[in-house]
Structure 1
Amino acid sequence: MFNRRLIAAALRIAFITGACVTHPLHAQVAAPEYGVRLESAATGSSVRRYNLAPSPVPINRSFSELSAEERDTVRLWFESLKTSEEPPYPVEGLRPIYAAISKAQQFILTWGRLKARAWIDVTGNVDRIEFFELPDPRLREVVTATLFPMKFKPALCAGRPCEMEFPIDVTFKSP
Structure 2
Amino acid sequence: MRITLVLGALLALSTGLAHGQEYTMKAEEAQTGSHLKRNTTRLHFPPDKTYAELPEADKARMRAMYEAMGPNDEPPYPLRGYGKLLRSISTAGGALQVEGVIEMGVIVGTDGRANEVKVYRSPDARTTTAMASVLMLEKYKPAVCDGKPCVQEFPFAMEFNLENQQLKTYR
* TM-score relative to the length of structure 2: 0.71
The answer for unaligned runs of 5 or more in structure 2 is 1-21, 165-171
Task: Give, in whole Å, the separation in 2 of the partners of 1:162 and 1:79.
Answer: 15
- 1:40 CA displacement: 4.3
Is 1:157 aligned to 2:145, yes or no?
yes
Flag the 1:41–1:95 CA change in 2: closer, same or farther, 3 A: same
| Residues 3-52 of structure 1 deviation map (CA, whole Å, 9 limit, x = unaligned) | xxxxxxxxxxxxxxxxxxxxxxxxxxxxx9633537443789955242x5
Give the number of the structure with larger relative contact order, counting CA–CA contacts within 8 Å between residues 6 or more apart.
Answer: 2
- 1:134 CA displacement: 1.6
1:35 alignment partner, one of 16, 25, 30:
25
Match of residue 69 from structure 1: 57
* TM-score relative to the length of structure 1: 0.69
List 4+ stretches of structure 1 deviating above 6 A.
Answer: 42-45
Task: Give, in whole Å, the separation in 2 of the partners of 1:74 and 1:131.
Answer: 21
Identical aligned residues as a percent: 24
* Matched residues, number: 142
Write the mapping of 1:103-118 to structure 2, written as runs, cut at 5 A: 103-118=91-106
- 1:173 CA displacement: 4.0
Task: Give, in whole Å, the separation in 1 of the partners of 2:123 and 2:95.
Answer: 13
Of residues 82-91 and 156-165 in structure 1, the stretch that sits farther from structure 2 once superposed is 82-91
